[in-house]
Amino acid sequence: MLNVNTPRILPRAQHNISRQQIDEDVLKVLYRLHRNGHLAYLVGGSVRDLLLGRQPKDFDIGTDATPSQVRRLFRNCFLVGRRFRLAHIRFKDNKVIEVATFRRHPRQDELPDDPDDHFLFVQNVFGTPGEDAYRRDFTMNALFYDISDFSVIDYTGGLDDLAQRQIRVIGDPDVRFKEDPVRMLRALEFSARLGFSLDDSTLRSIEVNAPLIAEAAPARIREEIMELFRHKVAARVMRMSKELGLLPHLLAGYRGDETSLQLLQHVDDRTASGVAIDEAFAIAALFLNRFFRDFPVEKDTHITAALHMANDIIFSHCRYFSIAQGIRHQAREMLVGCFRMVRGRGRRGERRFVEHPFTPRALELLRLWALVKPELVAVTEEWSEAIEQRTVPAGEARKKTRPRRRRPRRKRPEGGQPQAKQLKT
């Protein structure tokens, strides 16, 4: 590992990053900081992606300017965060560029006397670029691009790890995972997204520290899980989590059986084709196999029982992650919709079911399920035709109702009160 004070510097002629690949507003921020005497680096995942020939989804900036100094340089700057003070520079179309001041780990003698104040203090001790690099999670995410001379700066050996397509934790993995257990899940996500391997010490540490993931904030885990689906790597990460013993602690009580993992792979393929994924669909896909295992399809089963079972299966997951009732309702309707379709056609209430707004979404899930269970292909095609044509079986024809006739309003006389009805004599 390299020394904090002696980084490896890769000059412009030896790397592939071009300013044409960097957002023009990001360049404006970098150049203004540089012209005013501050260090201005592109940092983190954007440098990694550019070196790999990938287009970053966003760009973050690191600087030695304090948040208040950044705010004085940019009229469109707003300071955010209490624990970790950041500068957000806003441009048109709701674009936000994040600028963070370089930070370091404080010395023991610098910590406040009150232990309750340690976390807030630790997050806001400013430092040098080298000290900031060693605070980051993985070596490949600790690379800097210097706008002053267009060089790439490496304090932690990230360039070698990129060349070897390897993910390595900065520092002792056991210590870093105890600091933030979510790093274990992020390591698996990067491995799946980039096709990189995990180094031996990282793999061993995940196996040892897997139970710690249950102590992470549910809101963070929930967002990370949805990131897996958005990046089309949910199936691969779930499979790796199962192999390393992380999955039971990540999603309490979730088996991650082979059938479910195959379905999740088809969900990822669907997302990769350009179909957006939402949380309700992801939840329904996660629990579809368990639903059919615990509640096998029987012709005489009342639909109310299926509703109760679907709700029971996803309730603990939704409660733990504070998932809104509306999302839980959508996931439940998709599970029950799949149940109704697998049970077959020609049942009471089919017309309402075919026209229900959630039925096409349930059919999407069933199509993916049929890729795992080929015996359901014929059923899927039959329902697809029924939904497309809005066909109704015999006995379920829509009743024609006579339109309601409205009584004409009585005219008011010029005096304002309606005339009383005259009785016939």
Active site residues: 58, 60, 137
- Measuring CA to CA, which residue among 295, 276, 393, 281 is closest to residue 345? 393
* Distance in angstroms (rounded) separating the CA atoms of residues 299 and 346: 11
